[in-house]
């Protein structure tokens, strides 16, 4: 067993007290004396406060700003509430009947079919009813009406 174990706590307390006293001593000494002039001399401090002169403004009150704000708020609220969130939804969709994908434009559907294996057919479907309106097929390097 180590013989210094029972002296560990008192020794640690002594070291911490010595470090604290050594670090606070210069600050305590500096409060009483200045290095170049001897004892500290505190001259009275005169404080100067600048305050601008008070200006009193009298405001006339009327109901016109309140009425204008009320009417403007009602108009602005009506415009915001009735604003559409974008273009109306498409009434028709272009559908690949083999994979079931839908597009808003024929060009998007044709671009899909150019990379998609299988027959190239495009159906124009009414979105509200789900009925096929027209069908096109790729034939001899161009799109032809299937119904003809």
- Over residues 128-145, mean pLDDT: 84
- Domain boundaries defined on the chain: 92-145
Rounded to whole angstroms, the Cα distance separating 128 from 93 reads 10
Rounded to whole angstroms, the Cα distance separating 118 from 106 reads 18
- Over residues 56-82, mean pLDDT: 82
Q: Is it the case that residue 7 has pLDDT exceeding 70?
A: yes
Q: Residue 20: CA atoms inside 13 Å, Cβ hemisphere, count?
A: 6
pLDDT at 132: 87
pLDDT at 117: 75
Q: Which contiguous run of DSSP H or E holds residue 65? A: helix 64-81
**b or e along 55-82 (b: 16 or more beta carbons within 10 Å of the residue's beta carbon)?**
eeeeeeeeeeeeeeeeeeeeeeeeeeee
């Amino acid at each position: 067993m180590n013989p210094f174990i029972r002296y560990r706590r008192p020794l640690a307390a002594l070291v911490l007290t010595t470090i604290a006293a050594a670090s606070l001593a210069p600050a305590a000494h500096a409060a009483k004396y200045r290095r170049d002039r001897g004892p500290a001399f505190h001259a009275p401090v005169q404080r100067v406060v600048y305050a601008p002169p008070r200006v009193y403004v009298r405001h006339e009150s009327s109901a016109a700003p309140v009425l204008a704000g009320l009417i403007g708020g009602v108009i602005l609220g009506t415009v915001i509430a009735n604003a559409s969130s974008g273009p109306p939804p498409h009434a028709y969709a272009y559908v690949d009947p083999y994979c079931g994908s839908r597009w808003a434009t024929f060009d998007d559907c044709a671009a899909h079919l150019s990379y998609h294996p299988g027959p190239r057919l495009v159906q124009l479907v009414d979105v509200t009813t789900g009925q096929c309106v027209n069908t096109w097929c790729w034939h001899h390097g161009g799109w032809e009406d299937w119904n003809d």
